[in-house]
Amino acid sequence: MALTLRRRRNVTEAVADEKIRIRSVESIDVTVMIGSAIASFALSQLLYETFLPLSGALGYVVVWYVLFLAVSWIAVRELRGNVRAKDHLARVVVWSGASMAIVPLILIVLYVVGKGYHALRPQFFAEDQRYVGALSDATEGGGAHAIIGTIQQVGIASLIAVPLGITTAVYLNEVKGRLAKPLRTVVDAMSAVPSIVAGLFIYAAWILALGNQQTGLAGSLALSVLFLPTVTRTAEVVLRLVPGGLREASLALGGTEWRTTSRVVLPTSRSGLVTAVILGVARVIGETAPLILTVGGAFIMNWNPLSGKQDSLPFFVFRLIRFPQESQIARAWTGALVLMILVLVLFVVARAIGGRGPDHIGRFKKWRLQRKGLA
């Protein structure tokens, strides 16, 4: 005991002179990590397989992880002192937390890509399923009708929901009218509406009661019910981030409230508003349940969202994945892959248009300034 204590004091003294460099990984750290991993693996093998009455892979990983934390903590403390050990522990926990979040995401993407790329041919973007039979190959036909359906439905839904949502956010945050409080409650309640209920509502009110067909438009209406609260709430938070000093400056220059909002507040929060729209699109583009009730589903291209049934990518996936034929299942995975690609493309485009912070002068803004002779 006395020996350990003395040794630890020496360690502390030695460490005290050494500068702690944060965010750097030294070779000794790597050695300790590898050693601890092996040691804790051996320990958990012993504990889990021999002593504890437990089984199963998940429990094994948990025991290994906890033992790894303990072993590496002791190792670092013995080698480099207490402060280092705490630092090490925090670093390991934060890193593993971050990877716990990112690993499933990467796995999902890889899995869908792996399942879907076989049947992905250029014609998937050009053809529909009118000549596809039960025995056709997975590479025959395509999902163009579903892609067009999704783009049109989400497009119309955002045409409805984005102006409405941003106007509502302006009312809540800039006008601050008497109805702001109840309105905020309503928006909150709306964001809790399950998507199938939104679909049922449009089905009952728009299709059954008003006697409309199942169309792409009906689907858009259902999606905009889901879209609206997301855009409104995010846009409201974004507008709240605009410093009050800018509003005061604008009013002090003789600006009306309308011009203050349209020329100062909204341009300042432009990139945040783009984020609001992206979050809204992300909320609805993968929705299946409300579309089953409202767009009807189709195997052939229908360019007109105002009349006749349409298809959409999530619905396409949902329908085909339940077929017994391998080819249909492969096509469904391709649909899922294309949906992810579509989302990616939309987000990249939105970011490019929306720009980064308000200070950033993008290519479009530069062009506009040059045209006005201000650059």
Binding site for another protein (CB under 8 A): 243, 245-246, 248-256, 259-260, 263-264, 267-268, 270, 357-361, 366, 369, 372-375
Q: How far apart are CA 324 and CA 306, in angstroms?
A: 33
The nearer residue to another protein, 255 or 297, going by C-beta atoms, is: 255
Tokens describing residue 112: 């869908």
Alpha-carbon Rg for the chain in angstroms: 29
The nearer residue to another protein, 26 or 248, going by C-beta atoms, is: 248
Report, in Å, the least distance between residue 199 CB and another protein.
39
The nearer residue to another protein, 208 or 361, going by C-beta atoms, is: 361
Report, in Å, the least distance between residue 173 CB and another protein.
14
Q: How far apart are CA 25 and CA 30, in angstroms?
A: 7
Q: Are 343 and 147 in contact (CB under 8 A)?
A: no
Report, in Å, the least distance between residue 116 CB and another protein.
41
The nearer residue to another protein, 133 or 267, going by C-beta atoms, is: 267
DSSP 55-115: --HHHHHHHHHHHHHHHHHHHHHHHH-HHHHHHHHHHHHHHHHHHHHHHHHHHHHHHHHHH
Report, in Å, the least distance between residue 268 CB and another protein.
5
**For residue 268, how many other CB atoms are within 10 A of its CB?**
20
Q: How far apart are CA 228 and CA 187, in angstroms?
A: 8
Report, in Å, the least distance between residue 361 CB and another protein.
6
The nearer residue to another protein, 85 or 242, going by C-beta atoms, is: 242
From the number of C-beta atoms within 10 Å of its C-beta (0-12, 13-18, 19+), residue 290 rates as buried
Report, in Å, the least distance between residue 267 CB and another protein.
4
The nearer residue to another protein, 9 or 181, going by C-beta atoms, is: 181
